[in-house]
Structures are given as C-alpha cells and as structure tokens.
Amino acid sequence: MLTRRDFFQVAAAAAVLSGAAGGLASAAARQAISQTDLLAFKPVGQVTLLSFTDIHAQLRPLYFREPSVNLGVGEVRGLPPHLTGRELLAAFDLKAGSPEAYALSSEDFAALARSYGRVGGLDRMATLVKAIRAERPQNTLLIDSGDTWQGSYTSLKSAGADMVETMNLLGVDVMTGHWEFTYGEARVKELVEQLDFSFLCGNVRDTEWDEDVFEHTAFFDRGGIKVAVIGQAFPYTPVANPRHLIPKWSFGIREDDVQKRIDAARAAGAALVVLASHNGFDVDRKLASRVKGLDVILTGHTHDAIPAVIRAGDTLLVAAGSHGKFLARLDVEVRGGRVVDHAFRLIPVFTDAIAPDPAMAALIDRLRAPHEKELARVLGRTETLLYRRGNFNGTFDDLICQALLAERDAEIALSPGFRWGSSLLPGQDITVEDVYNLTAITYPAVYRNQMSGAALKEILEDVADNLFHPDPYYQQGGDMVRVGGLSYAIDIGKPIGARISDMRLMRTGEPIDAAKTYTVAGWASVNAHTEGPPVYDLVSRHIERNKIIAMPENRSIRVAGG
Amino acid sequence: MSKNDRPALSRRQLLVAAGSGMLMAAGVAAAPRAAHAGPAEADEAVKKLIGGASIKEGRVNLKLPQIAENGNTVPFTVSVDSPMTESDYVKSVYIISEGNPFPHVATFNFTPASGKAEVSMRMRMAKTQYVRAVATMSDGSVYQAKQEVKVTIGGCGG
C-alpha cells in the first residue's frame, strides 16, 4: 500500500523537521522549520501536481486539531486515513513532538501548538505555490478539490466572492465543489462565471434533461505531455445539504460516467488522467479499484491528511487535509501512457516559517477590512481546548449543544457532524470570527421542536449508517450527529437499526421512551422554511453571557466495535 | 419547491408541511407508518410471478443511486444481457421492492422486436430498501439483480 519510496520521503521530511522537538517557544520553532526545508523536494518526471482541498474559506492562519477518533469499518478498518494519534505516528514513522506530528495528529496538540504556532493562511500558501511554479514553470498544475467558498464570516457575507478573488490570484487551474452549492443555483452560476479557471463536475446533471450542468474535463499541456483533469463533485450534496437550494441538479457517484470520461480523455490523447474529487477518501479508494486508466485521484471531502501517497490498484491517491493546513506536491513521470515513477510530499503550511506573499496578503487585508471590527469582537475566553473533529463529538460542538439547550430551553440538542471548523487553544479569546468558523452556513436557523424517542433513535441510526455503512459508496463522509442532553451507546459494527442503544436523557438519567416526546433544539436542517434564530448569533450570545468557557471531557457516548 | 415534489406520504416533506424544521430533515416522527413489505413479502410476490423456477444471479444490470436524492422519485435503469433473437430473448422484467407497501412495482414485457431489453423509470421508495429486478427469459430461465437504495434523512455531510 505505502511504497518504500513514500516512506522514505516521509522519513526524510520528518528528519529535516524534527530538529525542533519539544517545548520550544514559537520563535525557536520558527528558526527550526524554514521555508527552504518545507520546499525541499527532488523533482521527478514531467508533471508536478500541486493540490489542496477543503480550505473552507480560511484566508488567515489558524489552529486545527486533527481527529483523535476516526474509525474505519469493513475492509478499511485500521487503514489510513483511519489511523489517529500514536498509531498514525507509528504507521508513518513520525517522531512524537516533531513538527510533522503536530501537523498530522492530535497527540499533545495544545502544547505543540504553542511551540509550532498557527498553520495555513492563503498568503503563505501563495508563497509556496509561487516558489514551486518558479522551479517547475512548464510542469505545474494547481488543483483544488473543493469546499473552498464556505466556512468563514467573510465568505458568508460575500456569498463566496472573497474566495473566488483569492483563488483567481492564487492561480488555481481547476476546482470541483460541494459546499459551494449551498449558495444556491443562481449564485453558483454567477461565481463560476467570475472564475479565471474551470469549475469541473462530471457528476452533476440537470433533473429535467439529464444533461451535464458543468464542464467535466480540462486538458493541459505540461512537461511535454497532455494531462486531463476530470472533476467529481460531492455525490451526495442534495442529501447532506438542502436540496431546495439546488432543486434542478442531480448528483451521484456515477461510476460509469467516470469511466466514460477517463476513456474519452485517453482517446483525446491524455497521457496522464487525474480526478479532482470530492467523493471522500474511502469512496475514492473503492472507485479507484473499479475504474481503469485513472492515474491519480486528488481526494477531498473527508478532510484526511495523509503524509504518503496511498495506492489503490494502479491509481495514486492524495489526501491533502483541510483548512489550508497543507499543500500536497505529487511529481509523476509518465512513460507509455502510464505513471512509472513518482515522488510525493504533504507540505505542512507552518505559518511562522513561511514569508507571506505580499500580493495575497494585501488582497486578504482588503477583503477583510470592512468586517475587521466585527471579526475581532471578543465574546469570551476558553479555558480548555476547543475543537470539532472526531467521529462522535468535539468540544466546540459540545459548546454549541450547550448553547442550544440553554438558549432555546430544550431537553436535547442536535448539532450536525460537520468536519470543518478551526480549533482554539486553552486561554484564547473567542471572537465572532471563531464562532463563524464553526457555524457559517446559508441555512443557519436553530429550530425548537417536539420529537418522539423513536424519531431520535431513527436519526441517530440514520446518521450512523451514513458514517459506518461497510460499503463506502453508501457513506456521506460527515461525522456522527452531535448530541447534547442525551447519552447513548453505539456499536459501529452492527447494521442500521441495531447500532444505537441505551439512549438516556441526561437530565434525569431515564431511558429515552420511544413513545414519549422531547423538546429538541438543533440547526442546519435541510428542510426549507425552517424557523429560528441563526446559530452564529445564538452561540455568540451564549458565550457572551457566560464569558469564561470550560468544556469538560464528553463521557456521554460509549463506543464499541471499533 | 413545486407541489409535485411533495406528495402526502413523503418522509422528507412531512415535516416541512407541518412547518417544523427537524435537524437532518425527515418527517420520521410524524409519518403514519404504512405497513411495508419486507424481503419475505418480496419473495412471495416473485413466486407468484415466476412460479417455482430457480433464480440465478447475473445478466441483469441495475443502475440505481446508492442513496436516493429524493425518495419520491428515484431514477433507475434496468438492462438485461440478451441477443434478443427469436430463439433467445427476454420476455419480462419485474421490478420488486422489499420496502414499499406493495412489493410488485412494475412489469415490462419484451419481444425480439424490442431490439434490446432496457428500461428506465422512476419509482417512489418509502424507505431504505433493496430493489430487485427479475428477468424471465424465453427459455424459461430466470435471472435477477438487486441493490440497496438508502432513503436517508440526510443532513450531516461535510
């Protein structure tokens, strides 16, 4: 699965970086990790594929804790990306406490974050991209696998325009989409018009005529060969997000169409065929095993940061993390219409080690200027680490659930298992910007509703099946719905209907009664006409009321079968 | 959303109609539970249609979404590998649901003059279920394919 070469690249990268292990001040880390080290790479072959995915509209540096729980089921149990913490470090031969360990795992996160500082920032990403393009001017492609236009205050206020401007300046060559579609059909079309590059979705058809809505393939000449890039949007957008926003568009994995696009690209002379995909990693791994002639998949959606290329059949899979934290570089040598050699590095974007690109920094400042005062408004302070990622809970989601219960006077809170959202270190102020980084969606209403115990069980079972169905093609790629005021046990190895047990109302400790109704507050309903205050206002108000936030460890979910 | 999008018994739409916005969308709570067929009822329906013939896997190709975008109207295509000659053709294709109130959804009859045995249609699905396509051949043999289609309440991707 991992080639010796991949391991070597990882080990080399770790060796270069691990001079800075343990307990250093950020200033020291800044000296230990240099821009030159981050860019160190022995080029291979004709084409350099640069890629990132799931930036979620993060223009500025941030903290992002990778998950400590990311379970795989069936054939992928225990395989990347379903390795976390120490297991992940061991599998990729990374030293605990090293910069790479900080970037890739959740181990000792808060302490290492103080040593190594923030990650990402599009001005830093721009510096890396420019440097690699300067080194390989005729060979480089920059590909964005989607979830770029949504996830921040400024993206929500500008309805995605800030990201279109910055991506144009960054010089992206193609992108595909998912959360992009939550701006609705008309706005998506407007923004696609404003792009200097192609928005590729080979799997989106209009429901009336069953015709392609977007371009599906773009061709490039790089390093003397023809490269085809096919786009694959998130197949379950109308299921996972409100269909009423895009009522005329139909999605799906459409494996047969992927094969047709590959064959057509080959017939048109492509020597290298790449899929820019928002399928999610496990879906892409299965897809790669079932289609022929696909050289590379640049996967997105599931936010996995994997420090090596994963092979599935003859296809190389790249998983470049999220939130602008990584830039992936894959160099390939193509001979006789197939990849005969490659080199890979998942480059962590360590903010403090990289000089900001002046043009991008200026653009970001200009885009943020009208909002800067509100973005910086302090709502309170957290005493404990706040983060979202994890299959079952995250402390920021625990805080959101606490806010839903308190502000809407509910017995039970439900909060969606999104995978985007930045982290906050103990002692950090919580600003308006931070709250939007976890909640900035176009359907933010917080409802208050009566639900039966049976309905609650059905929701938990349904979402669990979207996450733990043994066939990846039936997975939607989010995490488990977060709950407040409710405890339960889950056996992920069981079939739908049998995974969830021992549901209890935490306020009383009583078992949830299927026939009884409970008052439930939640947000991100995919139904049209949902009523209630926007979640970002509600959570902001809750933090302002409490001032000091301290989230205890969440012990309300018992997991078996992992 | 058009009125056509919301027939009375839709899981997805019931709550919308009720004016409430449940997270993850569905009207699972409020829906009056119709008596749905199960695998046993589906087996029974197939038996009525084909008699005692043994059913083989293969030759039948089902093209269905894994997860329905709209359970009210799920598009699918069934095709059967057959030369469609006088001596060897597909006589009928039956669409069987394991989760709808009535398991026998549709019958399509063919003759050699059909040229190929392929149909596309849309069907409504009450809930997550297996859909079967059963094809009877001119020589009396029977083939089937089946696939799970999830009708999910959705809403958590991301």
3-state SS string for B26-87: CCCCCCCCCCCCCHHHHHHHHHHHHCCCCEEECCEEEECCCECCCCCCEEEEEEECCCCECC
Segment B6-23 mean pLDDT: 34
Does residue A371 belong to any structural domain of this protein? Answer: no
**Same-domain pairing of B6 and B72:** no
Q: Count of A–B CB contacts within 8 Å?
A: 148
User: What band does A561 get if pLDDT is binned at 50, 70 and 90?
Assistant: confident
Per-residue pLDDT, A218: 98
B94, part of any domain: yes
Sheet holding A338-348: strands in order across?
A198-199, A174-175, A140-144, A47-52, A326-335, A338-348
Let me know if residue A389 belongs to a domain.
yes
C-alpha to C-alpha distance for A158 and A149, rounded to whole angstroms: 10
Mean pLDDT over residues A38-53, rounded? 98
Q: How far is B41 from chain A (nearest CA, A)?
A: 20
Compute the residue count for chain A.
Answer: 562
Residue type, A88: L
Cα within 13 Å of Cα(A410), Cβ side = 29
Pair (B107, B135) in one structural domain: yes
Contact flag A238-B70 (C-beta cutoff 8 Å): yes
Q: Specify if B134 maps to a domain.
A: yes
Q: A313 with A340, same domain?
A: yes
Check pLDDT > 80 for residue B16: no
* pLDDT one-digit tens code per residue, A397-456: 999 999 999 999 999 999 999 999 999 999 999 999 999 999 999 999 999 999 999 999
Does the residue B23 lie in any domain? yes
Is residue B11 in a domain?
yes
Same structural domain for residues A297 and A402? no
Residue A535 belongs to some domain of the structure:
yes
Residue B77 forms contact with A (CB below 8 Å): no
Domain that holds residue A463: 376-560
Residue A244 and residue B16 in contact, taking contact as beta carbons nearer than 8 Å: no
Q: Which of B103, B152, B102, B109 is nearest to B132 (CA)?
A: B103
Q: Are residues A57 and A69 in the same domain?
A: no
pLDDT for the residue numbered A13: 44
| Token pair listed for A190 | 């407007």
Of A366, A392, A425, which residue constitutes the final position of a domain? A366
Answer yes or no: is pLDDT of A514 > 90.
Answer: yes
User: Do A527 and B19 lie within an 8 Å CB cutoff?
Assistant: no
User: Could you tell me if B70 and B143 lie in one domain?
Assistant: yes
List chain B residues with CB under 8 Å of A234: 157
Band (pLDDT 50/70/90 cuts) for residue A386 is very high
| A299 within a domain of the structure (yes/no) | yes
The alpha-carbon gap from A524 to the nearest alpha carbon of chain B, in Å, equals: 6
Confidence of residue B37 (pLDDT cuts 50, 70, 90): confident
Examine the domain organization and report whether B114 and B138 are in the same domain.
yes
**pLDDT of A92 over the 90 cut:** yes
- For residue A302, the chain B residues in CB contact (below 8 A) are none
Domain assignment present for B155: no
CATH of the domain at B39: 2.60.40.2470
Residue at B106 is within a domain: yes
Query: Considering CB atoms only, which of B12, B69, B128 is closest to A250?
Result: B69
Domain count within chain A: 3
B32 vs B60, more confident: B60
Q: Which domain holds residue B17?
A: 1-33
Alpha-carbon distance A387 to A385, whole Å?
7
What pLDDT is recorded for position A29?
A: 60
Q: How far is A299 from chain B (nearest CA, A)?
A: 14
The answer to the question of residue B154 being in a domain is no
Q: Which of A310, A334, A366 is the last residue of a domain?
A: A366
Contact A182, A420 (CB under 8 A): no
CATH at A508: 3.90.780.10
Query: What type of residue sits at position A431?
Result: T
Whether residues A91 and A172 fall in one domain: no
Q: Are residues B28 and B89 in the same domain?
A: no
What's the mean pLDDT in A505-527? 96
Domain count, chain B: 2
* Residues in A touching B24 (Cβ below 8 Å): 414, 416, 459, 462-463, 481, 522, 525-526
Closest among A326, A357, A323 to A344, alpha carbons compared: A326
Do both B145 and B95 map to the same domain?
Answer: yes
Shared-domain flag, residues A99 and A155: no
Res. B20: pLDDT tops 60: no
- DSSP H or E segment with residue A458: helix A453-468
Instruction: Tally helices (H) and strands (E) across chain A.
Output: 19, 24
Q: For a pLDDT cut of 70, what percent of chain A falls above it?
A: 94
Q: pLDDT grade, residue A32 (50/70/90)?
A: confident
Q: Which residue of B has its CA nearest to A241?
A: B155
From chain A, the residues in CB contact with B148 under 8 A are 474
Cα–Cα distance between A132 and A142 in angstroms, integer?
10
Bigger pLDDT: B40 vs A549: A549
Residue A20 is predicted with a pLDDT of 38
Confidence at residue A39, expressed as pLDDT on a 0 to 100 scale: 98
* A184-212 pLDDT, tens digit each: 999 999 999 999 999 999 999 999 999 99
Q: Which of A333, A366, A399 is the last residue of a domain?
A: A366
Distance CA B59, CA A218 (A): 36
A44 part of a folded domain: no
Q: Does A123 lie in the same domain as A216? A: yes
**Which pLDDT score, from 0 to 100, does residue A477 have?**
83
> A60 and A85: one domain?
no
Are A94 and A219 contained in the same domain? no
- Residues A361 and A396 occupy one common structural domain: no
Sequence-distant (6+) residues with CB within 8 A of A79 are A1, A72
Q: What average pLDDT is seen over chain A?
A: 94
Q: What is the mean pLDDT of residues A343-371?
A: 98
Taking the CB of residue B100, how many other CB atoms lie within 10 A of it? 21
Q: 3-state class of A509 per DSSP?
A: coil
Q: In which band, very low, low, confident or very high, does the pLDDT at B52 lie, cut at 50, 70 and 90? A: confident
Does residue B120 sit in the same domain as residue B142? yes
**Which range, of A27-31, A129-133, A286-290, B104-108, averages the lowest pLDDT?**
A27-31
- Same structural domain for residues B48 and B27? no
- A90 shares a domain with A169: no
- pLDDT-based confidence at B11, cuts 50/70/90? very low
Judge if A112 and A239 occupy the same domain: no
Q: Is residue B156 part of a domain?
A: no
Mutate to test the interface with B, among A462, A479, A483 (most CBs of B within 10 A): A462
Residues B101 and B41 in one domain: yes
Are both A197 and A214 inside the same structural domain? yes
> Where residue A262 sits, what CATH number does that domain have?
3.60.21.10
The predicted-structure confidence for A266-284, as pLDDT tens digits, reads as follows 999 999 999 999 999 999 9
Question: Which of A456-460, B36-40, B151-155 is predicted most confidently?
Answer: A456-460
Confidence class for position A251, pLDDT limits 50, 70, 90: very high
